[in-house]
Amino acid sequence: MTIYKSAEGEQAVQEYYQTFIDHWPVACQQLKLTTRFGETHLLTCGDKALPPLLLMHGAMANATAWFFDVEEWSKHFRIYAIDMIGEPGLSAQIRLPMDSDAYTLWLDDVMQETGLTHAAVVGESLGGWLALDYASRRPERITKLALLVPGGVGPQRKFLFKALPLMLFGKWGKGKVREMIFGPEEKNPSPTVLKFREFFALITRHVKPRMDKLPIFSDKALQNIRAPMLAIVAGKDVLLDSKATRNRLESNVADVRVVYQPEARHLIRDRGEILEFLMNSKISG
């Protein structure tokens, strides 16, 4: 099983990923963990004495999603930026059934291999779904949850029907789809931002996207979450129903603050509130 369209594409994506690791904003260590579903790769940085913080990226991504955050966050936390299995990082290429406890068992192994009994979690999109799934099944192990446009709460929008006709118009159409999801491209971007654009284009070209719909959490599952939660949702999210996400979280999670950014797209650029939330009543190690 492979998530790549070709062996050459796999090599190209992984080699490009390594260039980001080589220029990581802070000193980091690569770890390869053994889990029951295959090898799991992660990047860890920050003093080992600091409280643990797991970072879980979205679909069609990897730990580089946190490139612009880790320098500041690692001053306060021991960071574990995980490459989710089944995504274009350096972990096993297996995609597990999402309507089961498989991803929870995988994270159990990750926690055991890193020696963690509990941790705070930041999750984005699919990584937000992963964080919620784990927190609902293992509530005693999660101390805080900071979520960016989390999946599995509000329904997914039928964006594919809008995107497919545009994709027929080549580079222009693909650019329009990208803009609808992530917003207008930054003018006069830095070399690093340009590098990320190239990386995302490379991933899009060579990786098979997930086609299964995210399971929607039941009210009972959300009510089982004990950890304080910050959720940031986007008013112009074309992939997820943000209003439904906000309403369901506020109705079912005991300790939650939902921040609604009306002009934001699926990629949340303003993440300043995350560190403030995590630092408030700072988690013990």
The one-digit pLDDT tens for each residue of the chain (285 residues) are 799 999 999 999 999 999 999 999 999 999 999 999 999 999 999 999 999 999 999 999 999 999 999 999 999 999 999 999 999 999 999 999 999 999 999 999 999 999 999 999 999 999 999 999 999 999 999 999 999 999 999 998 876 656 656 565 677 666 666 777 777 777 888 999 999 989 998 999 999 998 888 999 999 999 999 999 999 999 999 889 999 999 999 999 999 999 999 999 899 988 989 999 999 854 443
CA distance 97 to 208: 16
* Pairing outcome for strands 229-234 and 38-45: unpaired
In a domain, 2, yes or no: no
* DSSP-assigned letter for residue 125: T
CB 153 within 8 A of CB 248: yes
Q: What is the pLDDT of residue 28?
A: 97
In a domain, 123, yes or no: yes
What CATH number does residue 185 fall under? 3.40.50.1820
In a domain, 284, yes or no: no
CA separation (Å) from 174 to 10, 66, 157, 171, 196?
Answer: 21, 24, 19, 5, 16
In a domain, 96, yes or no: yes
Q: What is the pLDDT of residue 285?
A: 39
Q: What is the pLDDT of residue 96?
A: 96
Q: What is the pLDDT of residue 94?
A: 96
CA distance 264 to 260: 9
> How many domains is the chain built from?
1
Domain limits at 199? 7-279
pTM equals 0.93
In a domain, 179, yes or no: yes
**How many C-beta atoms surround the C-beta of residue 278 within 10 A?**
24
Q: What is the pLDDT of residue 221?
A: 98
Q: What is the pLDDT of residue 32?
A: 97
In a domain, 209, yes or no: yes
In a domain, 147, yes or no: yes
In a domain, 213, yes or no: yes
Which residues on neighbouring strands pair with residue 45, listed in sequence order?
Answer: 79
* Pairing outcome for strands 29-35 and 38-45: antiparallel
DSSP, collapsed to helix, strand or coil, labels residue 250 as: helix
Q: What is the pLDDT of residue 284?
A: 41
CA distance 83 to 21: 12
